[in-house]
Amino acid sequence: MPFFEVQNLTMVFGGLTALDNISLTLERGSINAVIGPNGAGKTTLFNCITGLYKPTAGRIIFKGTDITGRKPYKIAAMGLGRTFQNIELFSHMTTMDNLLLGRHLHMKTGVFGGAACFGRRSPAVQEEIAQRRKVEEIIDFLDLQSARDRFVGGLPYGTQKKVELGRALATEPELLLLDEPVAGMNLEEKQDLVIWLKDIQEVFGVTLLVIEHDMRVVMDISQQVLVINFGKPIARGKPQEVQNHPEVLKAYLGEDSVDQMTGAA
């Protein structure tokens, strides 16, 4: 049984076919990339997988269960986390509180549940302490101590991207979907993030599916790359296999450039 599978997924908006017969299989514990030009359908694929969009056709199977069309919170509760292309955080809350919100899937007493009412030894307080400990681990792991008690809205963009990754990690996902995690980061931040992504795979055993435009990052981290263009799958395989695929070069560089490179008329 594959860990995660997308079978013949199609998504039509009015007259526009944003995804056209996409299939993909992920092995547990692997890092996989989705690449393709702007508007190719990458984010739409994530929105279908996470339940934000109900696909027109096809199936999504996670750990042997058909999750196609299920509600986003039910899919998240099964262990499927994500980050968004445009950062989705509570900007007037601190890093700590944003990460604590990521823990709500694992809380029995609710996010701000009655902790105030019952003394230190109450189950609610004990649970709050346990959740905070978990969040502190993530803050340490992502080197976010200096941002810990600051409002997220005032943090540099690259740090906000890290907080969003931390919030997704706080849900303890088995499969994590990252939509352009290094976009807008400087070189040093990118290099750090690549190391963290590898650690998330190796140390936490999380399977990753990453949309990324930076080809150096894609080549460095992925075991498998899916390339889509105008919603259609045009190549799939190891990074070295797809990087010189004629269809991929055409999609990125245009027909003429490829003809010049290959010497075609």
Q: Which does 181 bind (CB under 5 to 8 A by kind): Mg ion, ligand ATP, none?
A: none
Residues 82-141 interacting with Mg ion (rule: CB under 5 A): 85
Pattern 3-42, ligand ATP, x by CB under 6 A:
----------x--x-x-----------------x-xxxxx
Q: Which range binds Mg ion by CB under 5 A, 25-33, 80-88, 200-208, 231-239?
A: 80-88
Q: Which does 18 bind (CB under 5 to 8 A by kind): Mg ion, ligand ATP, none?
A: ligand ATP
* b/e burial code for range 187-217 (CB count within 10 A of at least 16 → b): eebbebbbebbeebbeeeebbbbbbbebeeb
Phi first, then psi, for residue 205 (nearest 5°) are 70, 20
Residues 68-127 interacting with ligand ATP (rule: CB under 6 A): 85
With tokens 């919030």, the residue in question is 167
Alpha carbons 251 and 234: distance in angstroms, whole number: 9
Q: How far is the CB of 120 from ligand ATP (least distance, A)?
A: 48
SS (H, E, C) 44-87: HHHHHHCCCCCCCEEEEEECCEECCCCCHHHHHHCCEEEECCCC
Residue 43 within binding range of ligand ATP, rule CB under 6 A: yes
- Per CB under 6 A, residues contacting ligand ATP are 13, 16, 18, 36, 38-44, 85
* Contact residues: Mg ion, CB under 5 A: 42-43, 85
